[in-house]
Amino acid sequence: MAKPLILVSNDDGITAPGIRTLVNLMKQIGEVVVVAPDSPQSGMGHAITIGNTLRLYKADIFEDVVAYKCSGTPADCVKLAKHYVLKDRKPDLVVSGINHGSNTSISVLYSGTMSAAIEGAIEGMPAIGFSLCDYDPEADFSHTHEIVLKVCEQVLKNGMPKGVALNVNFPPKRNENIKGIKVCRQARAKWQEDFDERFDPNGRRYFWLAGNFVNFDKGEDNDEWAIANNYASLVPVQFDMTAHHAISEINKDWDL
């Protein structure tokens, strides 16, 4: 049987250690093609390039893997991969990451990692975003390998519900092994931002975004709880952002 075709992307850029880890893992189970940003695109959300040129270059980075670096966003990379690089070949799986940093809770909205996965889902392809909740420049990805392969193999075997992508986050490597996988919901948490006002050497004002991540959720069925308790979290996410439960309330109570 032919190997599954796996498209790999990310938001940390094509030279990031996380994507190298992911490429090496995907080579074990399929034919791999990489289309990833040529520079870091963290926090880009689902941005696409519409006012500037997009550039795409062959990248001889990964052994025995066809790879391209793109000047655009993660969503651009998946679009270009589907419509240009792969043309008439539809990937059996799209994987994004492994991101260097958490994409739990509300961060899924800002995440370039997840935008690549969600773009894959929009195009009808099974898609997964992987993130490691560790911002250390020397972060160790080795404890994620078994679960990455397990989740990908299950998706290839069972498919994915229509309109859904998976958001998988890993705790940092600790002395104990990851306890397992928790299929859970997105925690009710948010960033409480603060803008640090500064001045450049010419006296011109600028701002630097700062702040803290605050978890308001006390449940034990969410991704923040899973990570804190040394589980990998798996959250099914959808790109249909309709608040279906609010439709009847608005029709009932509003004078429209």
pLDDT band of residue 191 (cuts 50, 70, 90) is confident
Asked if residue 47 is part of any domain, the answer here is yes
In this predicted structure, what is the pLDDT of residue 121? 97
| Chain segment 129-161, per-residue pLDDT in tens | 999 999 988 899 999 999 999 999 999 999 999
- The Cα 187–Cα 105 span in angstroms is 5
Asked if residue 95 is part of any domain, the answer here is yes
In this predicted structure, what is the pLDDT of residue 144? 97
Asked if residue 149 is part of any domain, the answer here is yes
Q: Is 105 left (phi over 0), alpha (psi -120 to 50) or beta?
A: left
In this predicted structure, what is the pLDDT of residue 212? 85
Contacts of 55 (CB under 8 A, 6+ apart): 38, 70, 71
In this predicted structure, what is the pLDDT of residue 190? 87
Asked if residue 199 is part of any domain, the answer here is no
pLDDT band of residue 193 (cuts 50, 70, 90) is confident
- The Cα 247–Cα 239 span in angstroms is 18
In this predicted structure, what is the pLDDT of residue 163? 94
Q: Domain range spanning residue 19?
A: 5-187+220-253
Average pLDDT over residues 171-190: 93
Domain count, the chain: 1
Asked if residue 114 is part of any domain, the answer here is yes
Q: What is the pTM of this model?
A: 0.93
Asked if residue 194 is part of any domain, the answer here is no
Residue 107 has pLDDT above 80, yes or no: yes
Give the CATH number, domain containing residue 174.
Answer: 3.40.1210.10
Q: Among residues 189, 176, 177, which one has the least CA distance to residue 225?
A: 189
| Chain segment 16-61, per-residue pLDDT in tens | 999 999 999 999 999 999 999 999 888 888 999 999 999 999 999 9
In this predicted structure, what is the pLDDT of residue 44? 86
> Per mean pLDDT, which range of 189-193, 204-208, 239-243 is the poorest?
189-193
User: Is the four-CA dihedral 225, 187, 161, 103 of positive or negative sign?
Assistant: negative
Average pLDDT over residues 176-199: 92
pLDDT band of residue 1 (cuts 50, 70, 90) is low
pLDDT mean across residues, the chain: 94
Asked if residue 210 is part of any domain, the answer here is no
Asked if residue 43 is part of any domain, the answer here is yes
